A and B are shown apart, each in its own frame.
Chain A
Amino acid sequence: MKCFVGIDLGSTTSKAVVLDSDGEILGRGITNSRSNYEMASAIARTEAYVTTRFTLFERDLAERLCDQPEQERGALSSALQRAFRLQQYLMQLESLERTTEDLLDTRRYAPRRAVVRPRLRDIFGRLQDEAAALFAAGAKRRSDFFRDIAGSAYQAAAEDFADPQDAPFGLLLALYDKAILEVENEQLELGFQANIGPALERVIAEAEPAIADACRAAAESAANAELDEVRAVGTGYGRARLPFPRDQIRSEILCHGLGAHAMFPNTRTVLDIGGQDTKAIQVDDAGIVTSFQMNDRCAAGCGRYLGYIADEMNLGLHELGPLAQKAERKVRISSTCTVFAGAELRERLALGERREDILGGLHRAIVLRAMSLLARSGGVDDEFTFTGGVANNAAAVDALRDLVGENYGERQINISPDSIYTGALGAAIFALRDVQREAMKSEESMEAVA
Chain B
Amino acid sequence: MTRTTAELMAFAEDLYYDLDFKSVKRWKVKTGGHAIGFMPVYAPREIVHAAGAMPVGIVGAGDWLEVIRGDAYYQSYLCHIPRSTIDMAESGRLDFLEGMLFPSTCDVIRNLSGMWQIVKPDMYTRYVDVPQNFTDGVGGQFWAHELRTLAQELGERTGTEVTDERLRASIALFNENRRAVCDLYSLRRDEPARAPTSEVYLMVRAGLVMDVEDHTALIREYITAARNITPPELDNARVIVVGAFCEQPPIGLIKSIERSGCFVVDDDLILISRWFTDNAAETGDPIEALALAFVHDSVPTAVMYSAKAGRGKAVVERVRVARAEGVIFAAPSFCTPALLDQPMLVAELDREGIPYTAFKFAENAGQFQPIREQTGTFADTMKLWSVA
Contact = CB atoms under 8 A, between A and B. Distances in A.
B362 A372 contact: no
B217 interface: no
A335 interface: yes
Interface in B334-382: 362, 364-367, 369-370
B68 A334 contact: no
A372 B67 CA distance: 8
Contacts of A284: none
A375 B69 contact: yes
A379 to B, nearest CB: 9
Contacts of B369: 347, 350-351
B76 interface: yes
Contacts of B72: 372-373, 375-376
Given A375-B68, A375-B69, A375-B71, A347 B76 contact: no
Interface in A302-361: 332-335, 343-344, 347, 350-351
Identify the interface centre among B67, B68, B362, B365: most chain A CB within 10 Å of its CB. Answer: B68
Interface in B58-86: 63, 66-69, 71-72, 75-76
Interface string B25-69: 000000000000000000000000000000000000001001111
A173 interface: no
Contacts of B367: 334-335, 343-344, 347
Contacts of A334: 63, 362, 364-367
Contact of B366 (A300, A333, A376): A333
Contacts of B67: 372
A376 B362 CA distance: 22
Contacts of B75: 296
Nearest to B77: A296
Contacts of A407: 68-69
A296 B77 CA distance: 10
A371 B68 contact: yes
Interface string A372-387: 1101100000000000
A403 B66 CA distance: 11
Contacts of B370: 343, 347
Contacts of A403: 68
Contacts, number: 43
Contacts of A343: 367, 370
Contacts of B76: 296, 298, 300
A188 B95 CA distance: 67
Interface residues of B, number: 16
Contacts of B69: 375, 407
A262 interface: no
A236 B365 CA distance: 35
A368 interface: yes
A311 B69 CA distance: 32
Given A296-B75, A298-B76, A335 B68 contact: no
Contacts of A347: 367, 369-370
Nearest to B76: A296
Given A296-B76, A334-B63, A372 B68 contact: yes
A373 B68 CA distance: 9
B366 A335 contact: yes
Nearest to A375: B72
A14 to B, nearest CB: 30
B366 A368 contact: no
Contacts of A344: 366-367
A358 to B, nearest CB: 11
Contacts of B362: 334
Contacts of A350: 369
B320 to A, nearest CB: 37
A224 to B, nearest CB: 55
A368 B68 contact: yes
A255 B362 CA distance: 38
B63 A372 contact: no
Contacts of B365: 334
B71 A372 contact: yes
A336 to B, nearest CB: 11
A344 B364 CA distance: 14
A332 B72 CA distance: 20
Contacts of A298: 76
Contacts of B66: 368
B366 A332 contact: yes
Nearest to A379: B72
Identify the interface centre among A300, A335, A351, A403: most chain B CB within 10 Å of its CB. Answer: A335
Contacts of B366: 332-335, 344
B118 to A, nearest CB: 16
A28 B366 CA distance: 45
A198 B68 CA distance: 57
Nearest to B368: A347
A272 to B, nearest CB: 18
Contacts of A335: 366-367
Nearest to B72: A375
B367 to A, nearest CB: 6
A61 to B, nearest CB: 52
A247 to B, nearest CB: 33
Contacts of A376: 71-72
A403 B71 CA distance: 14
A312 to B, nearest CB: 15
Contacts of A371: 68, 71
A347 B370 CA distance: 9
A401 B72 CA distance: 19
A293 to B, nearest CB: 9
A311 B157 CA distance: 59
B23 to A, nearest CB: 25
9 contacts: A298-B76, A332-B63, A335-B366, A347-B369, A350-B369, A371-B68, A372-B68, A375-B68, A407-B69
Shortest 8 CB-CB contacts between residues of A and residues of B = A375-B72, A372-B71, A334-B366, A376-B72, A296-B76, A371-B68, A347-B369, A372-B72
Given A332-B63, A343-B367, 14 more contacts: A298-B76, A300-B76, A332-B366, A334-B362, A335-B367, A347-B369, A368-B66, A369-B71, A372-B68, A373-B72, A375-B69, A376-B72, A407-B68, A407-B69
